[in-house]
Chains A and B, each alone.
Chain A
Amino acid sequence: AQKITQTQPGMFVQEKEAVTLDCTYDTSDPSYGLFWYKQPSSGEMIFLIYQGSYDQQNATEGRYSLNFQKARKSANLVISASQLGDSAMYFCAMRERGNFNKFYFGSGTKLNVKP
């Protein structure tokens, strides 16, 4: 089974609006971490936000927030007030405590911000 599933290959959003990028995960490990990365066309993976499985509150970093729904195994990324520079690929990733060495990545979502 896929560890990380991103069902939206591409998304469009109007500048200044909010957008939600979906991510579901599959693990039996009770301790894990969830990550979101941004990959612009230049290719470098940029860390955005982290959520631990035992964190009580949803993570936030500036305009990024993570909508963590543990029972649904969902970790959606919310970008508020989209900017043209947000146009990029976005990857959800997971790391399990029992297999700490590996990060599992989804197939990504291509976000296009329209002016």
Chain B
Amino acid sequence: GAGVSQTPSNKVTEKGKYVELRCDPISGHTALYWYRQSLGQGPEFLIYFQGTGAADDSGLPNDRFFAVRPEGSVSTLKIQRTERGDSAVYLCASSGGGQETQYFGPGTRLLVL
């Protein structure tokens, strides 16, 4: 498909465990964003990549959260020592080609028990 893909679609883990969430952006899009969406809220910015580098990580809530994009395409959001408050939908979006808007993936629903 031509859209943004995210895996897994759902992830259930236990408090204290480590999780990785993957995002595959639209081919050729240089900009990649991660958002967190809690129930009943709008998406909240976490981090932005331009190419391989994290151009803006000011939205990461604490040092348990980390994201990489080593080859400028696929990105992985990593959460260490998960807490119940991390339960949310994690959305990835990409943009590029001079377009103003960003295009979202279907999200990963993370549940920390």
* A43-B107, A102-B48 known; A33+B100 contact, CB < 8 A: yes
CB neighbours of B79 from chain A (8 A): none
Size of the A side of the interface (Cβ < 8 Å), in residues, is: 23
| Beta-carbon contact of A45 and B91 below 8 Å | yes
Q: How far is the CA of A104 from the CA of B35 in the complex (A)?
A: 11
Provide the main secondary structure of the chain B interface: strand
How many A-B pairs with Cβ below 8 Å? 54
A103 and B44 alpha carbons, distance in the complex (Å): 8
> A47 at the A/B interface (Cβ < 8 Å)?
yes
> What is the total number of residues of chain B having a CB less than 8 Å from a CB of chain A?
24
* Minimum CB distance partner of B107 in chain A: A43
Q: B residues engaging A (CB < 8 A)?
A: 33, 40-45, 48, 50, 55-56, 59, 89, 91, 93, 100-107, 109
